Structure formats: structure tokens, C-alpha cells
Chain A
Amino acid sequence: MSVWRLMLREILHRKLNFGLGVLSVAVAIACLVGAQALLQADRVITQHILADRQAEVETAVAVRQAEVEKAGAELKDAMRKHMKGLGFNVLILPEGQDLSELHLDGSLSATMPEHYVTQLAESKIVTVNHLLPSVTRRIHWDEQDMDIILVGTRGEVPIMHRALKKPLLDAVAPGNMVVGYEVHHKLGLNEGDKVTLMGQEFTVSTLHPQRGSQDDTTVWIDLAQAQELLELENLIHAILALECDCAGDRISVIREEIAGILPGTQVIERYSQALARAEARGYAKKSAEEALQREKQAGQELLDQTAGSREEIEMRHAGLASVLVPLVIGASALLIALLSYVNARQRREEIGILRAIGLQARQIMLVFLSKAVVMGLIGGVLGAVLGLGVLAFGGSGISLPVPVSEVIRSSPVMTALLTAVVLAPVLTSLASWLPGLIATRQDPAVVLQGD
């Protein structure tokens, strides 16, 4: 015989009272756990919807990105092709060079030191590429009795801070000669032929096809040889360059940059109208970039909008739960208190006699509270199962994208379960406290006087 046995026997004796108590605990706990589980399900659904949207947006952005890259590649390619066709389109000349001379004769007379090109190459210049020092003079080729433009080049000077680029124009090896179309056509030259220019022998190494420009009347030889022939040791007439694919008012930017590195030079741009075509492709690339930007922005807006509306739903649910759960718990506590009180009334006689035969008040209280704890534990577990059952069976209705077990294992639901297991017995104990106290305070004589 023990107080526990007394408690258990009483529970079995008054099953209805106990059952109703357990039920009301279970309902309260089911409400608490169910609400948390459904809120968690909400969150999971939101995460999945957002992830889906994110993926959609990312795909759309990736498509646009590919478009931009393609447009960029096309532009680059087109630029390369144009530039290659056009040759160098920026000329860096000494400040004193009269441009009329260039345009009228295709010849240059003002000189600058050859090391300017090194200076430029070693600078941080970004607006031009492919630096090529040259001397250029219109001469009469006495040996062939023909006016030509003689160009001496030594090959491109690599820009120090840039990756090496494939040269637009290969250097002409000393003793070799590259010949423009008009010249070799008129003279009937073939590759490998030996010719004499200003008393020096050259081997024809390359014959250019017709270009329809000054190049057709041009002969290219090694820079050093040209300098020697023209008595221009260590001097050059011009640095040819290729402008980079930069946007805006290109030439003024180039001028500004070069003026900073090589004062005393002037910069002119050739064939600028031809670049307009390339520029058009630049616009195509730019508009593709803008489309990409718009896609990104629209995607972000979609994501924000989805997140916002989901948040609103979640907040509404949480708000509902924050009212409903305490209400149900309060109601259940009240019901348990009531049931406990009814129970205490029912037990007046037995408590009276137990007091009469010597049981202490705390023993009576223990019987009440231990019953409350048992009621709370059973009701708590039952309620937790019920609450999760709501999710398991209601889950199909809300089309949960993950297994229910995943939601159950999440920390908010686990916390709710833990709270439930702790809260339920505390709730029932508190609710049974006062009725228990009333029972222990009851005067046993009142019951026994009935005799």
C-alpha cells in the first residue's frame, strides 16, 4: 500500500473524471503542438516556393547572361575583324608634324625619339593596344623608277602590363621586304625575288593583296634598316596603335591619356566612321546587358513579392495561433481545475476518513498532485501525437513538399513537443493545486458527523 497505489486505484475508479482531464490536456497540447507544426509546415512551404522562384529567376538570368556573353563575343570578334581589316587606327605623331603632309603625300617628316614607344609600353596605358613604332616617307624608288611610301617597322612593342596579344602586323625581318599590291603588281614581283632599294638588297617576303588604300603603294622593311637608309637613327615618325574597345568619346580619352605619358605628341584617329559599325554592335551588347539588368531586377521583385506574401500568410497564421493557443490552454486549465474540484468534492468522504485515520495534509496533496502529473503526462503525450497527427493527415491538404517527419524533426516543433511534455504536467498540477488544497483543508469531522 502506498500513496501511489491510492492514486492509481482512484484513477481507475473514476475513469470518466480522469479521462476528461486527460482529454482536455490533450486538446490543449494538440493545439499547441499542432499550431507549431502547421506554422513550421508554412515555413517549409515558403522556403520551397522561394527556392523554386529563385531557381526560375536564376535560369532566366543565366539565359540573359548567355545572350550578353554571346553579344560581347560577337562584338569582340567583329571588332577584331574590323581592326584587322583597318589596320592601326590611331597615330601618335610628334606635335610639330603637319598633318597636310600626311594626307597629301602619305609622308611624315617630324620625328621623335624611338624610346617614346618603350615609354608608352612601360606606362599603364589602357586606351590603346598594339604599339608599333615606324618611320614613313614618300620616296622615289630610283632602281624601279617609281614613287612609293617606305615604311620601316620593327614589330609591335608589347605593353608591359597586358597579356601578350597576337600582333596585327608581323615584324619585317632585316633584309626582307613586304610589298603593297600596286607596287608588286606593276613590277611583277614574286615572293622570293631579290630587289634593290636605295642601293641595298632586299628579299620580297610577302605580297599584300589589294587593300584599296595607301597600303597598296607601300613597301615595308625593317625599322633599323629604314632608319639607316633615311638617316634617321633612333628616330621615328609615328607610333601606330590600335584603340581599345572603349565606349564614349574615345579619341579625346585616348588623347588625354597619351598626353599624360608623352607630352609633345599629337594623336589622330583614322577610319573613325568605319568604327561606327563596330559601335553598333557595342550598342547591341549594351542593350543585352540592360536586358540582363532588367531580368535580374524583375526576378528580385518576384522573389521579394513572393517572400512578402508568404510572410504575410505566416504572420496571419502565427497571429491566429498566438491567440488560439493560449486561449485553448487557458480554457483547458480552467476545465482541469473544474474537474479537479469536482473530483475533490467526490472524494470528500474518503479524504475525510483518510484524514481521520491519520494521513497528513501533504499526503493528501501528494495524491492530488501525482494524479495531476499523471494526467498531464498522458494528456501531453496524447496531445502531442494528436497535434502531429493533424499535420500528418492535414499535411496532404496543404501539399507539404517534404516528408512530414522532416517538419516534425525541425527545432520549433521539437521545442513545442518538449514544452508540451513539461508544460502539460505543470498545467495540470497548477490547476489541481487549489482544489487539492481545499480538499486537505476540509474538516474530517464534517463528513463523519453524518453518522
Chain B
Amino acid sequence: MLELTNVAKTYHGASGPVQAVNGVSVTLEPSQFVAVQGPSGCGKSTLLLMAGGLMHPDQGTVRVSDVDPYSLPPDKRATFRGERIGFVFQQFHLVPYLSVLDNVLAAALATGTSSDSAVSERARQLVDQFGLSHRMHHVPNSLSSGERQRTALARALLNEPSHLLADEPTGNLDRENAEIVLNAFSDFASAGGTVLLVTHDDHAASRAQTSLTMRDGKLDQTTKSSVATR
């Protein structure tokens, strides 16, 4: 479960303060796949980072599996992220000098399980599952965008998190690869996970059970289905 209560964030940039997120409350239950849509600059990425324990909100609370990650000291919070949350980004953010398999296994460094044979086995399974077996020992530079995003997806899933947070994951992908990623999200939700997808792509949003719209740092009250927005 992912629970945001009245979170807000103001950036203090060189050209004055920017209110990126302005009092958002939303609760995502397990097995829910929720998309947040909105125009560029409306605060989607900021919301996602706050939800993912990566950016301390100025105001409001965040609870992930009933834990407020910002109440934890930084290293504990990092471990908490590693165990509970998988991230997927538009720019993939793979470690450039690690092979596909090592990039996937890097996630296990956070949980101290990187040398477990079961974890290695799971990494190979994921690599296999996303059609990367023949690229297992290649570095990101030599991969296509789709292959890179599939690697990032495998990495996000390695530690069997309860939450998947994705920021424009299909932005750089062709339709086929976008489908693979979106299908993986659906499968993850079906298996009991919580998915938060931020995107401005209507098609991607349409794959979610629920699509919320964000504008000027706030969520529209119009909702596609039963997501609790307060």
C-alpha cells in the first residue's frame, strides 16, 4: 500500500520558488495499477520521487507499506527502498560498465543478497523472461532502448518489491517494447503489487486500472475508477 497525505513540494530555484506539488493525497492499495497523467511540468516526477522515498516532501506524509520512509535514517531508508520499491525511469539509468546480468544483480547489493545463488537464479530468470538471454553479458551501450528498459525492469523486480514506481517508462520505446513493459506492470499488479505510473502518454495510462490527472501540482478529482483521492 502506498499512501500520500497532503504532500507538497516547492523548489527554490534561481528564478524564484516553484510550487511543483501542492497538497496531493492519494492511496494505492495492493494489486492497484494507477497512472498519473498530466502536462509537462505539472509535478508528476516530483510526486513520484516523494512517493518513492527519494525526496522529502515539504509538507504532508508518505507511507509505504505503513512505514514513513522519511522517518528512517538515510541508510535505513535506502535499504527500505531496495527491499520495497522498484523504480523504472524514462532514461533507464543503467550502470554503464555493468553487463545486463550485473545491472540486474546490482539491486541485490542493497539487500545483501547479491551472492545468494537463489538471487542469481532469479536474475537469470528475469533476464530470460524479458528476452535478454542473448544480451546477458552485454553492456548497456550496445543495447537497444527496448533492451535497456527491459534490463531496468528486471532490476526493479529482482528484490520482489511490493511497489513499482515508473516515470515515463515508455517514453523512449517503440510500441512493441512499450507493451512488454506495460504488460509487466499489469502482471505485477495482478500478483498483488502496487504500481504507480506517471506519464503523459494516453495509451500507457489506458493500461492502468485507474488514471488520475494532475495539473499545477494538484490531482483532478475526476477519476476513472475507485482510487481513493482525498
Contacts and interface: CB of A to CB of B under 8 A. Distances in A.
Contacts of B94: 353
Interface stretch (A4-12, A131-139, A320-328, A406-414): A4-12
A356 B89 CA distance: 11
B95 A356 contact: no
Given A2-B115, A356-B87, A358-B81, A448 B98 contact: no
Interface residues of A, number: 32
A12 to B, nearest CB: 7
Nearest to A12: B97
A253 to B, nearest CB: 101
Interface string B66-95: 000000001100111111000101110111
A9 B109 contact: no
B179 to A, nearest CB: 21
A363 B90 CA distance: 26
B41 to A, nearest CB: 12
Given A1-B108, A448-B54, A449-B49, A357 B98 contact: no
B75 A357 contact: no
Nearest to A355: B78
B3 interface: no
A292 B79 CA distance: 89
A352 B78 CA distance: 11
Contacts of A231: none
Given A358-B81, A358-B83, A444-B54, A353 B111 contact: no
B106 interface: yes
Contacts of B89: 448, 451
A359 B110 contact: yes
Contacts of B105: 1
Nearest to B95: A350
Contacts of A2: 109, 114-115
B213 to A, nearest CB: 19
Contact of B97 (A10, A355, A444, A448): A10
A6 B103 CA distance: 10
A450 interface: yes
A361 B110 CA distance: 11
Nearest to A440: B74
B22 interface: no
Given A5-B102, A357-B155, A361-B74, A350 B96 contact: yes
A341 to B, nearest CB: 19
A443 B98 CA distance: 22
Contacts of B54: 356, 444-445, 448
Nearest to A358: B82
Nearest to A441: B74
A449 B49 CA distance: 8
Contact of A9 (B90, B93, B102, B171): B102
Contacts of B52: 356
A2 to B, nearest CB: 6
Interface string B150-180: 0000011001000000011001000000000
Contact of A3 (B80, B109, B171): B109
Nearest to B76: A360
Name which of A9, A352, A361, A448 has the most chain B CB atoms within 10 A of its CB.
A448
A124 interface: no
A5 to B, nearest CB: 7
B53 to A, nearest CB: 9
A347 to B, nearest CB: 9
Contact of A449 (B45, B78, B159): B45
A443 B77 CA distance: 13
Contacts of B159: 358
Given A352-B93, A358-B81, A358-B82, A451 B75 contact: no
A1 B95 CA distance: 13
Interface string A401-419: 0000000000000000000
A358 B156 CA distance: 11
A354 interface: yes
B96 A359 contact: no
Nearest to B155: A357
Interface string A1-29: 11101100110111000000000000000
B63 to A, nearest CB: 18
B93 A360 contact: no
A443 to B, nearest CB: 8
Given A9-B98, A448-B54, A357 B81 contact: yes
A284 B31 CA distance: 123
17 contacts: A1-B102, A6-B95, A6-B106, A355-B78, A356-B52, A356-B81, A356-B87, A356-B93, A357-B87, A357-B107, A357-B156, A358-B82, A358-B159, A359-B78, A448-B93, A449-B45, A451-B45
Given A354-B109, A448-B49, 9 more contacts: A1-B115, A5-B102, A9-B102, A353-B94, A358-B159, A360-B75, A360-B79, A445-B55, A449-B45
Sort A-B residue pairs by CB-CB distance and give the 6 closest, nearest first. A358-B82, A358-B110, A13-B97, A1-B105, A353-B93, A1-B114
